[in-house]
Amino acid sequence: MAQKPSIPKGTRDFSAQEVNKRHYIINTIKNQFTKFGFQPIETPSFENYDTLMGKYGEEGDRLIFKILNSGDFLKKVNPNDIKSENTLAITPKIAEKALRYDLTVPFARYVVQHQNELDFPFKRYQIQPVWRADRPQKGRFREFFQCDADVVGSQSLWQEVEFVQLYDAVFTQLKLEGVQIKINNRKILSGFAEIIGQSDKLIDFTVALDKLDKIGEEAVIEEMKAKGITAQAIDTIQPIFNLKGDFSEQIASLRGILAASKSGLEGLQELEFIQQAIEAMPLKTARLTLDVTLARGLNYYTGAIFEIAAPPQVKMGSIGGGGRYDDLTGIFGLKNMSGVGISFGLDRIYLVLEELKLFPKTADAQTQVIFINFGHQEALYAMQAIRLLRDKGVAAELYPDEAKMKKQMNYANKRAIPFVVLAGSKEMQKEQFTLKNMMTGEQNDVNLQELKKMLQA
Amino acid sequence: MAQKPSIPKGTRDFSAQEVNKRHYIINTIKNQFTKFGFQPIETPSFENYDTLMGKYGEEGDRLIFKILNSGDFLKKVNPNDIKSENTLAITPKIAEKALRYDLTVPFARYVVQHQNELDFPFKRYQIQPVWRADRPQKGRFREFFQCDADVVGSQSLWQEVEFVQLYDAVFTQLKLEGVQIKINNRKILSGFAEIIGQSDKLIDFTVALDKLDKIGEEAVIEEMKAKGITAQAIDTIQPIFNLKGDFSEQIASLRGILAASKSGLEGLQELEFIQQAIEAMPLKTARLTLDVTLARGLNYYTGAIFEIAAPPQVKMGSIGGGGRYDDLTGIFGLKNMSGVGISFGLDRIYLVLEELKLFPKTADAQTQVIFINFGHQEALYAMQAIRLLRDKGVAAELYPDEAKMKKQMNYANKRAIPFVVLAGSKEMQKEQFTLKNMMTGEQNDVNLQELKKMLQA
């Protein structure tokens, strides 16, 4: 019996229109990555089990897709583990490969493995799919693309400056105005925890603080108290809930608050460097804002933290993010490699551009003209013209069958092909073509030269 | 302890240079696909186990990578199967998804699943990786890209004509001259088997015939005899081992040989249609040749069979192939959908272009200019210029750290960046830049306007 076709949950088929629009975004990002000096690398879709496991926390380990060994996959398993159905012990024996969970760990592995071929600082970009066995839900997929740019091997803050410019350049080119580039620094968050004398509570503190936007000051304070942060400590830090003024003014306020924290002041100095550079080289359409509640990726970021918010008229989570991590490659044995990188959220950017109708018409590159098929001699006449049109860069087709005229015109219509050429024996005798504009209905009798000219435009 | 980084056997990391060259090929193919009216689709990397299994023969089933179910994957397994370690019975219970093995089966699944949204004839292209648990060896990988274009929903031979033109267009654009487009027809092979009265031996006969090139006539005849094909039958068919003349002359000879086979004559007529169309619209750099020994993909092709041979000066297997299959989507319940398609062998085309030194310099798009970092003020001065250069489309970088001059110049050199800008306090005062051509060693003092002009060129 024939199978009813379907795809695994959390995965997607992309139609031509969707692929074209996705590539429009990807090509824009690539174009800017290249102008900023990033070079593409690609890594395999699956890595050794050990390369990925233990890098994303317990939750992450569970969400990694493992690939079943080929052949007699049970042969390496301890019979007792089979008997007791000990899946945790069995998994690494029967699945020695796993699908990429993100692009950062494979990148770290790549840098260490190829360190002798690379020139540092090494600037790379990578645009490839990743896979996560997450519960699928609206906007969350089991296969999705990540678009990352990272630099390793330099601690220079000019890189943070460049990433701010890079975000601005990409969103400007996409005509997505009003994007907010939020920046924070891990050292400032550490400073806060220091100041309140509860450095051991850094994670609890920042996790609560991160929710300020969503749940408000009171609820954040409640949560902090619940986590054992004293009322006195919260009082000390209270001013950060209501920082006023522009970037520089907020820095000034924070300098007071963090006066006693060496780490905090260092974080402020870094932010100031970035802010002043951007002031000297204003952004085109995006806005750089300080957000001390930003705690994204606290587990690995050690310096700057970035998060990109879509323009306020669109309801959407972050459409990008990144930061600096001081020890990217340590897990693979190469110490003291500072890295900094950013990521673009392709799926969400797609939704934003769709909602704001920002995809240009040309994003959906498609066939410009189709020739009606009136029979063998006419088809050959058409094909000769099509051949010359293609040489001139025009996407052109012949309807392959000598079907009823109405069927052929319907096909052109449904596919939204803008021009149709009708060339029957009458036109052939005069070496002409009837060109019909499907939008306006206008028809013109033209020769080959004119046809080329009209379609190339 | 730090892990020594490695990747699974049969997989590859691609350096920037390799990615850029691969994309040069892919973009060329895409460009022509689009001009010929093909639209891109993308399907998920993994499909349901049942979608893929049983479509590629027993060998294929074994070579499909299966993905281990998440969580307690043993719960659906029959305990007896666990006890007896019956891997064949266990596999479908613990691995309900599998990595794409080729692009054809997912395409068939796509067409059936989306049949109501598609307009037929449906012309699609698809360029995505596939995975096979094959034994890795030189030129054979466990992850590799396929580049396919197919049409479903029409039996018109104009499509075969177009595929010949498409091959020619791609290889011409890649400047790979002298490619041979070999064509055959399944119906001709059936005709041979008919003529010798051994239609039941069609597979044995064509498998042997396919080796004519490699092992010669005598050995082929030996093999046929070993397979139970009679000496008399082989005598009847003997002329096909030594067909002489050009395409038309060979067709004429075959018309004699196949006179008694309806199917054979039909195959010849189809070939003639294609050949005459190509004669009326000559190919640019490729050559269309008839090869009656071509039996590639006999299991599924029902009409035309294509295979592309690299120019004779390169030792390389086929760099592309394809054909017509009358029932592409039947396995998923949609009958009578004739399909025809071709494929480009990306990895092998890469090797051929490399060997013949046909990659253009521009294929490896990379940074055009790097600015030396002389300190904070100088870096800001540089960054301002870099920003304007990027706006003009120039890929430009700042060396991120104020390192020793020699180190910075070495970096530029190793990365083969063609231009270096030196701008210290002296240049800043004069609002100038010293531009050094790293190939010639030539240095020029220029202003920003001149700098832009020189680097845009």
DSSP string, A228-241: T--HHHHHHHGGGG
B450 within some domain:
yes
A374 within some domain:
yes
Q: What is the mean pLDDT of residues B48-75?
A: 93
Q: What is the mean pLDDT of residues A355-382?
A: 93
Give the mutation candidate from A30, A34, A107 for the B interface (greatest B CB count, under 10 A): A34
In the three-class reduction of DSSP (H, G, I as helix; E, B as strand; rest coil), residue A240 is classed as: helix
pLDDT at B137: 87
Q: Decide: A286 and A273 in contact? Cβ < 8 Å.
A: no
pLDDT at A365: 67
> Residues A34-57: pLDDT tens digits?
999 999 999 999 999 999 999 998
Beta carbons of B133 and A161 less than 8 Å apart: no
- Phi, psi (rounded to 5 degrees) for A372: -70, 140
Q: Decide: A167 and A36 in contact? Cβ < 8 Å.
A: no
pLDDT at A328: 85
Q: Decide: A114 and B10 in contact? Cβ < 8 Å.
A: no
Q: What is the mean pLDDT of residues A91-116?
A: 96
Dig out the tokens for B100 from the structure.
């794409």
pLDDT at A322: 96
- Phi, psi (rounded to 5 degrees) for B56: -125, 20
> Taking each helix axis from N to C terminus, what angle separates A262-280 and A247-257, rounded to the nearest 10 degrees?
170
Give the mutation candidate from A68, A120, A384 for the B interface (greatest B CB count, under 10 A): A68
B99 within some domain:
no
> Side chain identity at B179, as an amino acid letter?
V
Q: Decide: A197 and A233 in contact? Cβ < 8 Å.
A: yes
CATH label of the domain that carries residue B447: 3.40.50.800
* CA separation for the pair B41, B388 (Å, rounded): 37
Q: For A159-312, where are the E strands, in sequence order?
A: 180-185, 287-290, 304-309
pLDDT at B361: 85
Put residue A441 in one of left, alpha, beta given phi > 0 → left and psi -120 to 50 → alpha.
left
* CA separation for the pair A448, B8 (Å, rounded): 55
Q: Decide: B169 and B179 in contact? Cβ < 8 Å.
A: no
> Residues B369-421: pLDDT tens digits?
999 999 999 999 999 999 999 999 999 999 999 999 999 999 999 999 999 99
DSSP characters over A247-269: HHHHHHHHHHHTTT-HHHHHHHH
Q: Decide: B15 and B360 in contact? Cβ < 8 Å.
A: no
Q: What sign for the dihedral angle of Cα A55, A57, A60, A62?
A: positive
* CA separation for the pair A366, A416 (Å, rounded): 9
B378 within some domain:
yes
> Side chain identity at A92, as an amino acid letter?
P
Q: Decide: B34 and B82 in contact? Cβ < 8 Å.
A: no
> Taking each helix axis from N to C terminus, what angle separates A262-280 and A186-195, rounded to the nearest 10 degrees?
150
Q: Decide: A371 and A421 in contact? Cβ < 8 Å.
A: yes
pLDDT at A299: 74
> Residues B221-252: pLDDT tens digits?
999 999 999 999 899 899 999 899 999 999 99
How many of the other CB atoms lie within 10 Å of CB of A155? 15
Grade residue B2 by pLDDT with cuts at 50, 70 and 90: low
pLDDT at A57: 87
Check pLDDT > 60 for residue A1: no
Q: Decide: A356 and A12 in contact? Cβ < 8 Å.
A: no
A234 within some domain:
no
Give the distance from residue A321's alpha carbon to the nearest chain B alpha carbon, in angstroms: 21
pLDDT at B457: 72
> Side chain identity at B455, as an amino acid letter?
L
Nearest to A158 by CA among B366, B426, B374, B431: B374
A313 within some domain:
no
Check pLDDT > 80 for residue A2: no
A447 within some domain:
yes
- End-to-end, the C-alpha distance of chain A in Å comes to 51
In which residue are the tokens 């390793």 written? A152
> Residues B105-115: pLDDT tens digits?
999 999 999 99
State the Rg of chain B over Cα.
29
Give the mutation candidate from A6, A9, A13 for the B interface (greatest B CB count, under 10 A): A13
A289 or A197: which leads in pLDDT? A289
Dig out the tokens for B141 from the structure.
């990988």
Beta carbons of B43 and A393 less than 8 Å apart: no
Put residue A186 in one of left, alpha, beta given phi > 0 → left and psi -120 to 50 → alpha.
alpha
Give the distance from residue A60's alpha carbon to the nearest chain B alpha carbon, in angstroms: 12
Nearest to B268 by CA among B249, B255, B287, B253: B255
Give the mutation candidate from A152, A156, A369, A414 for the B interface (greatest B CB count, under 10 A): A156
For A73, the closest of B48, B87, B159 (CB atoms) is B87
Nearest to B400 by CA among A270, A158, A162: A158
Beta carbons of B3 and A37 less than 8 Å apart: no
Beta carbons of B7 and A393 less than 8 Å apart: no
Q: What proportion of chain B, given as a percentage, has pLDDT over 90?
A: 83
How many of the other CB atoms lie within 10 Å of CB of B142? 24
* CA separation for the pair A283, A177 (Å, rounded): 11
Give the distance from residue B200's alpha carbon to the nearest chain A alpha carbon, in angstroms: 27
DSSP characters over B193-246: HHHTT-GGGHHHHHHHHTTHHHHHHHHHHHHHHHTT--HHHHHHHGGGGG--SS
Average pLDDT, chain A: 94
Dig out the tokens for B91 from the structure.
């596999």
How far, in whole angstroms, is CA B209 from its chain's centroid? 26
Q: What proportion of chain A, given as a percentage, has pLDDT over 90?
A: 83
DSSP characters over A145-190: EEEEEEEES---THHHHHHHHHHHHHHHHTT----EEEEEEHHHHH
In which residue are the tokens 């010849």 written? B268
- Phi, psi (rounded to 5 degrees) for A381: -60, -45
pLDDT at A3: 63
Say what the pTM is: 0.95
Nearest to A158 by CA among B366, B420, B401: B401
In which residue are the tokens 């994003």 written? A363
Q: What is the mean pLDDT of residues A235-257?
A: 93
Q: What is each CA distance from B199 to A409, B183, B271, in whole angstroms?
A: 44, 22, 21
Contacts of B23 in chain A (CB under 8 A): 40
> Side chain identity at B158, as an amino acid letter?
W
Q: Decide: B448 and B431 in contact? Cβ < 8 Å.
A: yes
Number of domains in chain A: 1
Q: What is the mean pLDDT of residues A202-214?
A: 90
* CA separation for the pair A340, A346 (Å, rounded): 20
Check pLDDT > 60 for residue B1: no
ipTM score of complex: 0.94
Beta carbons of B396 and A37 less than 8 Å apart: yes
How many of the other CB atoms lie within 10 Å of CB of A135? 11
What is the 3 state secondary structure string of A311-371? CCCCCCCEEEEEEEECCCCHHHCCCCCCEEEEEECHHHHHHHHHHCCCCCHHHCCCCCEEE
For B6, the closest of A48, A68, A155 (CB atoms) is A48
B326 within some domain:
no
* CA separation for the pair A266, A263 (Å, rounded): 5
Q: What is each CA distance from A343 to A284, A407, A433, B137, B417, in whole angstroms?
A: 20, 47, 50, 35, 26
State the Rg of chain A over Cα.
29
* CA separation for the pair B78, B268 (Å, rounded): 55
Dig out the tokens for B207 from the structure.
């498998």
pLDDT at A457: 72
Give the distance from residue B16's alpha carbon to the nearest chain A alpha carbon, in angstroms: 5
Give the distance from residue A143's alpha carbon to the nearest chain B alpha carbon, in angstroms: 7
Beta carbons of A400 and B14 less than 8 Å apart: no
How many residue pairs from chains A and B have C-beta atoms closer than 8 A?
279
For A44, the closest of B7, B110, B162 (CB atoms) is B7
DSSP characters over B242-259: G--SSHHHHHHHHHHHTT
Q: Among the listed ranges A369-373, B358-362, B390-394, which one has the minimum average pLDDT value? A: B358-362
By residue range, what is the domain housing residue A442?
A: 366-456
pLDDT at A433: 98
Structure letter (DSSP) for residue B2: P
Cis peptide before A121 (omega within 30 of 0): yes
> Residues B137-152: pLDDT tens digits?
888 899 999 999 999 9
Strands B339-344, B143-152: parallel, antiparallel or unpaired by DSSP? antiparallel
Beta carbons of A365 and B330 less than 8 Å apart: no
Nearest to A289 by CA among A132, A183, A374, A441: A183
Cis peptide before B121 (omega within 30 of 0): yes
Grade residue B300 by pLDDT with cuts at 50, 70 and 90: confident
Give the distance from residue A91's alpha carbon to the nearest chain B alpha carbon, in angstroms: 9
Nearest to B47 by CA among B103, B106, B102: B106
Beta bridge partners of A167: none
* CA separation for the pair A330, A109 (Å, rounded): 10
Nearest to B342 by CA among B296, B287, B276: B296
In the three-class reduction of DSSP (H, G, I as helix; E, B as strand; rest coil), residue A131 is classed as: strand
In the three-class reduction of DSSP (H, G, I as helix; E, B as strand; rest coil), residue A307 is classed as: strand
pLDDT at B3: 63
